[in-house]
Amino acid sequence: MTVEKERLQDSKWKNWGPYVSNRQWGNVREDYSPNGNAWHYANHNNAESYAYRWGEEGIAGISDVKQIFCFAFSFWNKKDKIVKERFFGLSNPQGNHGEDIKELFYYLDNTPTHSYMKMVYKYPINAFPYDDLVAENGRRSKKEPEYEIFDTGIFNDDEYFDIFIEYCKADHNDILARVTVHNRSRQDAPIVIAPTAWFRNNWKWGYNTYKAQMNASYDGCIDINHDSISIKKFYSRNLAAKSAFCENETNTPKLYGAPYPGNTYFKDGINDHIIYGSNTVNPEKRGTKASFIIDEMIGAGQSKTFDFRLCPDETDEPFDKFDEIFSTRTAEADEFYNDIQSETTTEDERNVQRQAFAGLLWNKQFYHYNVGKWLKGDPNHEAPRNFNEYVRNTEWNHLHNKDIISMPDKWEYPWYATWDLAFHCVPFSIIDGEFAKGQLLLLTKEWYMHPNGQLPAYEWNLSDVNPPVHAWSCFRVFKIDEKQNGKPDLLFLEKVFQKLLLNFTWWVNRKDKNGKNIFGGGFLGLDNIGAFDRNMELKDGQHLEQADGTSWMAMYALNMMRIAMELAQYYQVYEDMAIKFFEHYLYIAEAMENLGDGKDGLWNEDDGFFYDVLQLGNGDSVSLKLRSIVGLIPMFAVEIVDHKLLEKMPNFQARMDWVLKNKPELTKLVSHWDEEGQGRKHLMSILRKNRLTKVLKRMLDENEFLSSYGIRAMSKVYEENPFVFSVHGTENVVYYTPAESDSRMFGGNSNWRGPIWFPINFLIVESLQRFHFYYGNSLKVEFPTGSGEKKNLDEVAQNISKRLCSLFLKDEDGQRPFNGGNAKFNYDEHFKDYITFFEYFHGDNGRGVGASHQTGWTATVAKLMKPRLTV
């Protein structure tokens, strides 16, 4: 067992980690406006002066698990108008494609206990182009690409600093920090480094008056005095570093025009002191926010290193063995990943996979949201609650989140999303199974899950509906964990199954509009996939029957059936639950075939594809013949059951036999579950063989869904021949749009009308593999469609997987497709091996699009690079 795996047995090693957000402004929790304008209330312009209520932000920030104490780095190039305390980006209204970070940084390494962490930030030597980025993106239309920081020319002539930030732990509460600044330019350049420690403000809101303090002790040492924090000392190796102190409190005179209270040194005090030399820091050298200020000149092409330490005890030699500890921890990180990657074939793949894991781990965040208190307002808040126009989440008064959670992207999406997190947990299970299981359980806890059984979606609308993939993820994580540890964690599986029963019931009661096993639910996480907003209230009794919503529920029923079957091997009582979900799955399959009352089903035989159906108020229906991943999602409702498992469940098998004999109209709708395939396996799938081959003919056509880099979200045929549909007198036109969205639907910062999305592609790969476990070589399809070459479904799955992985790997010309042909990113020695895991990818050329550090679900590429587990 590696040293890092041994550390994972001791939870104290996770007491400190990268739990500080990259952006706290512009989120729902900090919004105290009367009209729900979260992007305006707390924004980047006032962030330096505003004390946050619910969390903190910083560059490479770390904190304890309760985020009582935080530490991060700030920098100043002596040309910017503000100290770089936080990453800059545009708010949703400012961006021509919604919110977007405008910085360059890369997560390079991290271990599950955060015993070693490393990232690099590329900070311009010249004045940061804040105004240019805002103005130019504001000028551009939705039809134009985003204006990125690289486009400004600020990195021309290599006029930037590479700032490597590393942490390692000497012990679980003894943290070493190192900053190495490289001047990549051809001229000497100044920089101010300000490592900053602060307490999250828990004393101003009217609940707790305890206010801890930090104070200068002696040169190079700051004392940390807090009853609940084990770290007591903050050391700088550079004894000439000046210390500065202020309070983590809102500058109310500046932001609200309040009278100056006197002898108060606000949150922005250190910033103003560094930039202007203002007397805005406490001359008594104490406060709730403290920095060492190091002013250095870095020679052209040279570098300097700066060391710091946060530890529990005073020591005469805080930097004794500092280098040795760093060397040990980096070696242990290498040992851990060498073990994980023992079967990963190439150095390039290992690099990509390790950075994917690093991004997952860096995107952990302390997330705090008490909806009851947020709605009511705090007794002493400077801006008490005053709803005049709009208020969110009123139905979630019970929700009280205060945990470390895996975020999609700590800048663009610094809040959890339930269906995103389900995908995060699959690659997480490879490196830290306990954390993955804990995350999946967490969202089913009573302080998360609604009393009615709904899982919270995301903070902008907790009541929104995401695809129900939680059960799928739970079973995948369970099986991966069992494979790695040699024993099943039945307690985890049983706990989560009990809670998911409530969630499944919520779906049946709330999203099956007419009780006919046809499910809606709005956009279901797929934003603009439809011809019109699928959350829209339709008139005159019309409603939308969604192929994807219904397919997701068929998949959910099969997932729950499979979990119950697993538990039934140990506890017979679960056999009845397996039967229940088997029958529910059959009824959903029946409904997809025929909506009842003689209406057409979701399947279109002529096109060989599934479509949404719009039910009109007069009893007629219209098939919305828009070919998108909506019609591919029925493939996900597939399960393989080995005959050995069935033999252990005689009651289940008897019930199956009864249904087969007495309800032939149901059994004929579902692929050959009554016929054994290769290895005596049984197949349960909505797609019978002939329908599966028809869907695959569409999906594997390079003129439709198949791209060089995976499966597109929408058919390419709509590039030249758009889909047109009118609803309520409005003509809706849908074009194949392979990259950024060209509409403002759902904020406009994501697009499902053509790009390649990892979560859907990952499920496609897994589904094809499952079909192959049953059919083997008895089913081969043309791949690509029209090529004349036949492949079995496993070969198809592996080919799609390779296409997805190729987005990040160097091609024969040394280019990584996600870089979009950017020569500097592809060939410069200081860029070429750094990976960013984008939210989605251009459907034709593979360029990364959307959130640039969404290493959550895009980190599933790390799983694709692992030899698969046939579970």
**Cβ atoms of residues 205 and 185 within 8 Å:** no
What dihedral do alpha carbons 802, 836, 868, 778 form, nearest 10°?
A: -30
- The two structure tokens encoding residue 139: 């000028």
Q: Average pLDDT, stretch 440-460?
A: 97
Higher pLDDT, 84 or 528: 84
Q: Look up residue 826 and give its DSSP letter.
A: H
**Cβ atoms of residues 838 and 804 within 8 Å:** no
- The two structure tokens encoding residue 255: 């932001």
Please report the pLDDT score of residue 657 as a whole number: 82
With cut-offs at 50, 70 and 90, classify the pLDDT of residue 727.
Answer: low
Residues paired with 286 in a beta bridge: 215
Give the range among 69-78, 501-510, 843-852 with minimum mean pLDDT: 501-510
Q: Is residue 413 part of a domain?
A: no
How many domains does one find in the chain? 2
- Percent of the chain at pLDDT > 70 equals 94
Q: Is residue 855 part of a domain?
A: no
Q: Is residue 704 part of a domain?
A: no
**Cβ atoms of residues 5 and 16 within 8 Å:** no
Mind listing the pLDDT tens digit for each residue in 556-594?
999 999 999 999 999 999 999 999 999 899 888 887 776
With cut-offs at 50, 70 and 90, classify the pLDDT of residue 825.
Answer: very high
Distance CA 547, CA 540 (A): 22
Mind listing the pLDDT tens digit for each residue in 120-154?
999 999 999 999 999 999 999 999 999 999 999 99
Please report the pLDDT score of residue 871 as a whole number: 39
The burial class, CB within 10 Å (0-12 / 13-18 / 19+), for 630 is buried
Q: Is residue 147 part of a domain?
A: yes
**Cβ atoms of residues 507 and 519 within 8 Å:** yes
Higher pLDDT, 216 or 728: 216
Q: Average pLDDT, stretch 715-737?
A: 88
With cut-offs at 50, 70 and 90, classify the pLDDT of residue 750.
Answer: confident
Please report the pLDDT score of residue 597 as a whole number: 46
* Size of the chain, expressed as the number of residues it contains: 871
DSSP string of 447-511, one letter each residue:
TTS-TTSPPP--TT-TT------HHHHHHHHHHHHHHHHSS--HHHHHHHHHHHHHHHHHHHHHH
- 433-442 vs 490-511: helix crossing angle, rounded to 10: 30
Residue after which a domain boundary falls, among 686, 711, 746: 686
What is the pLDDT of the chain when averaged over all its residues? 92
Mind listing the pLDDT tens digit for each residue in 642-682?
989 999 999 998 888 888 788 877 776 666 676 788 888 88
**Cβ atoms of residues 488 and 433 within 8 Å:** no
For 451, phi then psi, to 5°, come to -55, -25
**Cβ atoms of residues 220 and 235 within 8 Å:** yes
**Cβ atoms of residues 157 and 185 within 8 Å:** yes
Mind listing the pLDDT tens digit for each residue in 383-408?
778 787 788 999 999 999 999 999 99
- Percent of the chain at pLDDT > 90 equals 79
Please report the pLDDT score of residue 730 as a whole number: 74
Q: Is residue 569 part of a domain?
A: yes
Please report the pLDDT score of residue 383 as a whole number: 75
- The two structure tokens encoding residue 98: 């919604």
Distance CA 233, CA 222 (A): 6
**Cβ atoms of residues 371 and 349 within 8 Å:** no
Residue after which a domain boundary falls, among 686, 712, 742: 686
Q: Provide the pairing of β-strand 242-246 with 289-298.
A: antiparallel
Placement of tokens 């592609």 in the chain: 761
**Cβ atoms of residues 167 and 177 within 8 Å:** yes
Q: What is the CATH number of the domain that holds 106?
A: 2.70.98
Higher pLDDT, 325 or 688: 325
Residue after which a domain boundary falls, among 320, 341, 359: 320
Q: Average pLDDT, stretch 59-74?
A: 98
Residue 728 has pLDDT above 70, yes or no: no
Sheet with 612-615, strands from edge to edge, namely: 543-545, 612-615, 621-624
The burial class, CB within 10 Å (0-12 / 13-18 / 19+), for 210 is exposed
Higher pLDDT, 595 or 647: 647
Distance CA 359, CA 816 (A): 18
Q: Is residue 453 part of a domain?
A: no
Q: Look up residue 409 and give its DSSP letter.
A: B
Residue 372 has pLDDT above 60, yes or no: yes
Q: Is residue 756 part of a domain?
A: no
Q: Is residue 579 part of a domain?
A: yes
Residue 535 has pLDDT above 70, yes or no: no
Distance CA 236, CA 319 (A): 9
> Dmax over Cα atoms in the chain, in whole Å?
87
Residue 869 has pLDDT above 50, yes or no: no
The CB-side HSE value for 432 (13 A sphere, CA atoms) comes to: 27
Contacts of 594 by beta carbon, 8 Å cutoff, 6+ apart: 600, 601
With cut-offs at 50, 70 and 90, classify the pLDDT of residue 512.
Answer: low
Residue 414 has pLDDT above 90, yes or no: yes
Mind listing the pLDDT tens digit for each residue in 604-638?
899 999 988 887 777 777 888 999 999 999 999 99
Q: What angle do CA 341, 347, 352 make, to 5 degrees?
A: 75
Residue 97 has pLDDT above 70, yes or no: yes
Mind listing the pLDDT tens digit for each residue in 213-268?
999 999 999 999 999 999 999 999 999 999 999 999 999 999 999 998 887 899 99
What range defines the domain where residue 77 resides?
14-320
**Cβ atoms of residues 327 and 218 within 8 Å:** no
Please report the pLDDT score of residue 596 as a whole number: 45
Distance CA 728, CA 578 (A): 44
